[in-house]
Amino acid sequence: MMSRVLVDFKATVLEFSRSPSAIFWTLAFPVILMLLFGAIYSGGGGGTYNLYVQDFDESPESIAFLDNMTGTGLVNIVKVNTSSDAAQVISDNSLTSFLIIHAGFGAGLNNTENVTLEFRMDEGSQAALTNYNVVKAVAEQMNLKAQNVTSLISLDVKPLVSDQFKFLDFFLPGVLALTIMNSTVNYMVFTIVEYRNRGIFRKMMTTPLKRPEWLASRILWQMVLGFISLLLIMGIGVYIFDVVVTINLMTLALILAGTALFTAMGMAVAGLIKDEQGAGALAGAVTFPMMFLAGIFFPLEMMPEYLQTIAKAIPLTYLADGLRDSMIYDNMGGALENLIIVSGLALVFAALGTALTRWKQE
């Protein structure tokens, strides 16, 4: 029995190694995704926006003010020469916000006079809004300081996603979950439909090979691919983007359970639709919405209430959550809870998949 599984496993690996599209979707796709998002979110100071500033004051106070803003980690100050025309700089660089510190800012503060900062912004822009909030917060902080009540209240500006976890930390386990889903569902759907329509199952059935043996070999290979994806994604995250990730037994268990779940889901899809194009379309219809609704690219909390409800009905959500719990947040309780849900769903889909795909013809 074991030898038949191994013979089939060897054939599976050979087929994979000669299929450029399979290699792309399972290995290159997650790598590209990681590099792309890594570059977007960590390049130029980790999720900060540029704020162009014209400082006509150049006093210790104005410099301190700008330093405080840089200190929040949310904005990146770009100084503009005082001889330039502000409107020209704004249009030349397509800016959505612009800060002008007028002369007399430092002196005014020292004399506890009212001073005014000029902040020009495009109110529809997210970046401008962030910059505005930073300017406002820092200004309030300095107001308090000027009134000598700093010891009572101090405003500590922090990014909304807490400092400790950068976006990439959040994103990395999601990419892993996404890769496992895409790779496994598509592999199972296309393999089953192809083998069925080309009569390969029929030929297999004339030998002692049994369906559970075939299935075992294919699932085993998808699990191996899951671990390879883990290593690739982690390698990029850790070595290029300094993501802090831990791998524990829970991570591995989640990868195994996730692979089993999506294998079964692929079987169910292939069982429902007989022709190649239809099955491919259904596979896409199943995986594509999950990709966006399961909180892979952004936290679920950012989505409207009704979408969050939908997300809770999506299997991928639990795999991604579980992987985040185990790899990033060190929340073993949460990881275990998600592992149980994923395993339960795997059983449900396995029953469905087995019922829908029969080897033996009528």
Partner 1 sequence: MVEAHIEVKGLRKEYENLIAVDGIDFKVRKGQVFSLLGPNGAGKTTTVEILECLRTATAGEVSILGLDLNQSSKIKRRIGVLPQGFNAFDLLTVKENVDYFAGMFENPVDTDELLEWVKLDGRRKELFKNLSGGMKQRVGIAMSLVNDPEIVFLDEPTTGLDPGARRDVWRMVSNLKERGKTIVLTTHYMEEAETLSDYICIMNKGRIIVRGTPREIIRDHGGSPVAIVRGAGDGGLQALSPGFPDCELVGVDLKIPISNGRRVSEILNTLDNADVHYDEIVIKKSTLEDVFLKLTGQEFKGGEEDDE
**21 near partner 1, rule: CB under 8 A:** no
Q: Which is nearer to partner 1, 11 or 78 (CB)?
A: 11
Q: Which is nearer to partner 1, 165 or 195 (CB)?
A: 195
Closest CA to 173 of 225, 244, 240, 265: 244
- Interface pick for partner 1 out of 2, 18, 152, 305 (rule CB under 8 A): 18
> Least distance from C-beta 203 to partner 1, angstroms?
5
Q: Which is nearer to partner 1, 208 or 333 (CB)?
A: 208
> Least distance from C-beta 197 to partner 1, angstroms?
9
- Interface pick for partner 1 out of 4, 102, 120, 211 (rule CB under 8 A): 4
Q: Which is nearer to partner 1, 7 or 87 (CB)?
A: 7
How many other C-beta atoms can be found within 10 angstroms of the C-beta atom of residue 198?
11
Q: Which is nearer to partner 1, 204 or 291 (CB)?
A: 204
Closest CA to 247 of 328, 338, 322, 327: 327
> Least distance from C-beta 9 to partner 1, angstroms?
11
Torsions phi, psi for 153 (to 5 deg): -125, 135
Q: Do the strands 117-121 and 97-101 form a parallel or antiparallel pair, or are they unpaired?
A: antiparallel
- Interface pick for partner 1 out of 14, 78, 161, 285 (rule CB under 8 A): 14
Burial class (CB in 10 A: 0-12, 13-18, 19+), 306: exposed
Q: How far apart are CA 28 and CA 22, in angstroms?
A: 9
Q: Which is nearer to partner 1, 79 or 203 (CB)?
A: 203
Q: How far apart are CA 219 and CA 254, in angstroms?
A: 14
Q: Which is nearer to partner 1, 215 or 311 (CB)?
A: 215
Size of the site for partner 1 (CB under 8 A): 24
**274 near partner 1, rule: CB under 8 A:** no
Site map (CB under 8 A) of partner 1, residues 316-355, x = contact: ----------------------------------------
| Binding window for partner 1 (CB under 8 A); candidates: 7-15, 230-238, 282-290, 300-308 | 7-15
- Enumerate residues 6+ apart whose C-beta is below 8 A from 324: 170, 173, 174
How many other C-beta atoms can be found within 10 angstroms of the C-beta atom of residue 341?
18
Spell 242-276 as b/e; 16+ CB within 10 A means b: ebebeeeebbebbbbbbbbbbbbbbbbbbbebeeb
Q: Which is nearer to partner 1, 191 or 287 (CB)?
A: 191
Quick one: tokens of 57? 């004051």
Closest CA to 262 of 340, 327, 345: 345
**362 near partner 1, rule: CB under 8 A:** yes
Counting Cα atoms < 13 Å in the Cβ hemisphere of 176 gives 37
- Enumerate residues 6+ apart whose C-beta is below 8 A from 328: 165, 169, 170, 172, 173, 244, 245, 246
> Least distance from C-beta 225 to partner 1, angstroms?
16
Site for partner 1 in 168-227 (CB under 8 A): 198-200, 202-209
Under the rule (CB under 8 A), what is the footprint of partner 1? 3-4, 7-8, 10-11, 14-15, 18-19, 198-200, 202-209, 360-362
